[in-house]
Structure 1
Amino acid sequence: MTGPRNGRRFVGPGDRFELADHIGSGGFGDVWRARDGTLGREVALKFLALNRLAGPRQDPERVTQVRERFARESLIAAKVDSPYVASIYDCDMGDETPFLVMEYVDGEPLNAHVGITPLPLARTCRWSSQIAQGLAAAHDRSVVHRDIKPSNVLVREADSDVRIVDFGLSRFIDATETRSTAGTPLYMSPERCRAEPGDERSDLYSLGCVMYEMVTGWPPFGDTRADPVALAQAHQNKAPTPPRAQGSGVPPALEKLIMTLLAKDPEHRPHNARAVVHAIKEIERDLDVSGPERRTDGLLPGPGASASDNGFADRLSAAELAVRRLIWKHGQDHALVITARMELADLTGHSGDVRGAAELYDRLGQDCSAWFGPGHSRTLDAFEGMVRWVSA
């Protein structure tokens, strides 16, 4: 990395990349948003923590091995071609600190959307299908992620589509850190918990954990405060509580798919990611989440109506995007934001997901109670909306 020049920092051959913002850090290294001066686009640079991964003694042979392994894994991951996988554009090995040049995804990680309360079913199906499609494209290239988790799935601000990040990096860390296995215990397959390499079906198990959290609000075992050893034992030996026992409104077919993904034996999981995509399409068909844009009379269906009378996938995405933009412009507690959240909740209910509508209104009611007080009209309106959809 070159030194600052006029308060600006550049890296790469000919100072091609100008560093803008530090996005985050992890076991692999630091990630920066940067501008590609040659192609005039924003990119994400993921720097290799060479000093840590090569060990404290910095043996030259070991450093060379880590660099070569990094280049190989980057080349393998770059072969994955999917609209739901963040692209790898380049790998710079000439710098003192090697780095990947990746697609910059303007959005939030999935873990900003999941947790505590379930997601609406239409959104769960959409994002789960997109993750599965990204995995299918990777598995077709014999690339296994090994660390599928909400923080490795980014939701784009522009269209609410997902991008999976960090393909190949877990295998790289497995190979360089002999005392640990890359992966997050909350979402790690039983075989990965046993420090086995795992395969495509390990990714499917982790997808099942993510889907479980989408529909229940919690991972299948524990939370971020749980002991990693206890989590590993649970993944290997404990049966997860069926999602429908955690709360009503989960379709039986969706619960069956999630429980199959969470099978302890990889042989009992779906054969591949494309089978998961197909199963989700069948679930969406049963939920009637697609159809003509409006009824012939131009009216929205009432609570409990089938979404087969109305096409909602694009409209839900647009409504979610509108809420985020209003929050960015006006703040969480602005009247326009509250109105937009109510409209999103009603649209969710009209799509056929009455449980999702009730939960969105309940969350809004709790927020309004904290902002304005339990007796405020906005708080009462939100809880009234929740009751309306619960009754539906």
Structure 2
Amino acid sequence: MWAATDAAGYPVALKLINTLAMEQADPSLQGHWRAHLEREIAFLSRLDSEQSRHIVTLFDHGQIDGRPVLVMEQLFANLGQWLAQKRQDGAPPLEFERILDWAGQILSGLEVIHNAGFVYRDLKFSNILVDQDGALLKLADFGSLKRHDGDITRSFIGTPATMAPEQVLPAATGSQGYEYAVGPRADYYALGLLLFTLLTDQPATAAQRRLGQLLAQHGQEGAAQRREELGELNDQERELLQRSIEFWTIPVSTQPGGGTATLLANLITRLLARDPDDRPGNAMEIRAVLDTMRAGQLTACSRAPKPVPITDEPDWDISPLTLPPHPRPRRSATINRSRYSRPTKTLIGILALAGALAWAIVLRPFDKSPSPAALESTTTAATQPPPNRPEPVTEALSVDDVLLPAPEPSSPA
């Protein structure tokens, strides 16, 4: 991604496809990226201004020197970069209301994708763009889109450390290779991972760390034979999640049935269910809980809850990492897109003014294998959690830091 300015002086982002990297990909996958790119362009081109509220806007697309390029709305950073920068700046922890608001914005973006007949398949911090104040979130990078009008896909696409088990583990082996049963509820699983991380400061669940280990050691077939070890929160994680939510809300002891803390903890537990059928069936079900939480009386606890250490996890020889704490953002102005109600045709003028790398915050890349759109992503810095929050489990792996062997050859989705 590159930051640029168009001929009228308006800031835009240029997404250039690394065709060289695509040519060096697995021979069985060569050419598939073009189909995914065309699908991404078609999806974004059909969105109106209301649908683009939480989906990045596509202004134009074309080719430069044989390389496909997309001219897109420019935001400040991705969410992982933004959180890392705020931590570097010493910002206070993110307000609980902001986490709920972010969850609602992400869910709105997923609704647009699902209503268009697609599954996102790659929801993670580096694919969520944010404005400078952290008030506006937009989903980006749609090279992993898959139609959900069929039950089976033959492509393995996304980031394994942030995927639902059914995205990584084949449901069957057909004549053309592995087959995966992936639907919209896979995106809800990824949403659950994001919320778990934001609320507990845990970069990953034990199940996701285990998934990365099984894939690295045994491949997809070997991991599929251990499905019962994947997905869901363990008892310690559920308790940590409950205590973390209680840090912001009315404690469980003061309300019958556990109160708002239990309501949200139960939602996230369901989002992270191993079986897709046990997850919420639609966005309305999830939004109902978020709205109830936001409408309820939210009061901070007088002191941080006692941390719940996880001591019975096997030693997988993984270096500990923690996610940055949550900054306290300010409100931001609404982005004006009126001048781009129709795509611009001035790619040459834009590229002539293209400058520095996008987002102004450059962090180390975490994913060495190209995505269908061949974009590099970034991960957040590892530091200690703030003293007023439940301490995270120290034996953890960054959700975007699992490097896996190349998947088995497969056919396009």
Q: Does 1:318 align with 2:312?
A: no
Q: Does 1:241 align with 2:237?
A: no
1:329 alignment counterpart:
none
Q: Distance in 2 between matches of 1:286 and 1:253?
A: 11
1:86 alignment counterpart:
56
Higher helix share: 1
How many residue pairs align between the two structures? 266
Higher relative contact order (CA 8 A, sep 6+): 2
- Report 1:90-109 matches (<5 A): 90-93=60-63, 95-109=65-79
Q: Distance in 2 between matches of 1:97 and 1:224?
A: 38
Q: Distance in 2 between matches of 1:69 and 1:319?
A: 35
Q: Distance in 2 between matches of 1:57 and 1:271?
A: 35
Given the alignment, which residue of 181, 195, 202 partners 2:186? 202
Larger radius of gyration: 1
Deviates more, 1:225-234 or 1:162-171: 225-234
Residue 282 of structure 1: CA displacement?
0.9
1:329-380 Cα distance to aligned partner (Å, 9 max, x none): xxxxxxxxxxxxxxxxxxxxxxxxxxxxxx85648xxxxxxxxxxxxxxxxx
1:51-71 Cα distance to aligned partner (Å, 9 max, x none): 222447999xx65x7545522
Q: Does 1:275 align with 2:250?
A: no
Aligned Cα root-mean-square deviation (Å): 4.1
Given the alignment, which residue of 205, 214, 220 partners 2:198? 214
Residue 85 of structure 1: CA displacement?
1.5
Given the alignment, which residue of 116, 122, 127 partners 1:141? 116
Asked if the contact 1:45/1:99 (under 8 Å) is kept, the reply is yes
Asked if the contact 2:94/2:329 (under 8 Å) is kept, the reply is no
TM-score by length of 2: 0.54
Given the alignment, which residue of 30, 40, 44 partners 2:9? 40
Residue 78 of structure 1: CA displacement?
3.3
The percentage of counterpart residues that share the same residue type is 26
Residue 207 of structure 1: CA displacement?
0.5
Given the alignment, which residue of 227, 243, 258 partners 2:213? 227
Residue 119 of structure 1: CA displacement?
4.9
Unaligned runs of 5+ in 1: 1-30, 173-177, 290-300, 305-315, 322-358, 364-392
1:49 alignment counterpart:
18
Q: Distance in 2 between matches of 1:56 and 1:108?
A: 26
With over 3 angstroms needed to count, the CA separation of the structure-2 counterparts of 1:361 and 1:78, relative to structure 1, is: farther
Q: Does 1:257 align with 2:267?
A: yes
Give the 3-state SS of the residue equivalent to 2:2 in structure 1.
strand
With over 3 angstroms needed to count, the CA separation of the structure-2 counterparts of 1:155 and 1:262, relative to structure 1, is: same
2:379 alignment counterpart:
none
With over 3 angstroms needed to count, the CA separation of the structure-2 counterparts of 1:79 and 1:268, relative to structure 1, is: farther
Residue 184 of structure 1: CA displacement?
1.8
2:410 alignment counterpart:
none
1:370 alignment counterpart:
none
1:239-263 Cα distance to aligned partner (Å, 9 max, x none): 3135551262421111111011111
TM-score by length of 1: 0.57
Give the 3-state SS of the residue equivalent to 2:52 in structure 1.
coil
Unaligned runs of 5+ in 2: 148-152, 171-179, 246-260, 304-327, 334-384, 390-413
Asked if the contact 1:76/1:168 (under 8 Å) is kept, the reply is no
- Report 1:291-310 matches (<5 A): none
Asked if the contact 1:108/1:157 (under 8 Å) is kept, the reply is no
Q: What is the one-letter code of the residue matched to 1:215?
A: L
